[in-house]
Amino acid sequence: MDFIAPLIHSFMLPPVGSSAYCSRSAIEHSTATGDILLFAGRGALSIAIGAATRSPWSHVGMAIWGRDFPELSLDPETLYLLESTGYNFGRNRKPDALTGAMREDVRLTPLWDRFVGYSARVMHVMHLDLERVPVEWRRERLLPFMRYVAGADYERGRLQLAEAAFKWLGPTRRDVSSLFCSELVAEAYMFMLLLEFTRTRPSNRYAPDDFAHPETLPWARMSVRGGAVPPLSHGEYYDNE
């Protein structure tokens, strides 16, 4: 089955080695706190998620610069990844920067350390418009959010994962007792008042691929002031091989 993922990616991602891919330094230079990071994994679960959502994107997280959150005692020179994962990193496990615990689940870890022992090949950055959503706006709302979700568990309700991938399964209720990756990101964007919270589309009805198509997201009025263009746009790719 492992041959399926590279085949899917070859049709849905830019060719590896093309000018679409950037270096680590270029990614860091262009990425700001609150930007979205999409990952194309190659494991069995990633293949299943890709098949269900018809997308190469099997995981999503959020970029967090340590310099923007001195209250959390983070390394100011480090770009972190805020994510929720059930992936077992084994000996490559890194401590969660929010709690100091050696755990999976909701966690904050240096972005480039995240690739160690992980099967994701390609990362894609989606940028928030800096003029319409200033970093200070993001910082003021993400600081309490990260404190709120620190130590939270990865999603325990497997049905919620299926409902996020298969929208036709019907409405569901918001449940943040445990969080999967795209649910965490959707909650963060609702905290930033960028995504609308509706009874028919709570945070647990988002899949990773939803954040690759900003034109289809239910943006709140604040985020689209000055025009109807979504504040989230495509950025750089990074090849992990």
Tens-digit pLDDT string for the chain (241 aa): 444 544 455 456 776 556 778 999 999 999 999 999 999 876 666 666 666 667 788 899 999 999 999 999 999 999 999 999 876 655 567 889 999 988 878 999 999 988 776 767 889 999 999 988 999 999 999 999 999 999 998 866 665 555 555 554 555 677 777 898 999 999 999 999 999 887 778 888 898 999 999 998 999 876 656 556 899 999 999 987 7
Amino acid, single-letter form, for residue 12: M
Its pTM stands at: 0.86
Tell whether domain 4-239 is in CATH 3.40.50.2300.
Answer: no
Strand-pair partners of 83: 107
Domain residue limits, the chain: 4-239
CB 9 within 8 A of CB 121: yes
Residues 150-169: tens digit of each pLDDT: 999 886 666 555 555 555 45
Query: Given this model, what pLDDT does residue 165 score?
Result: 55
Query: Given this model, what pLDDT does residue 192 score?
Result: 93
3-class DSSP state for residue 21? strand
Residue 28 burial by Cβ neighbours in a 10 Å radius (0-12, 13-18, 19+): middle
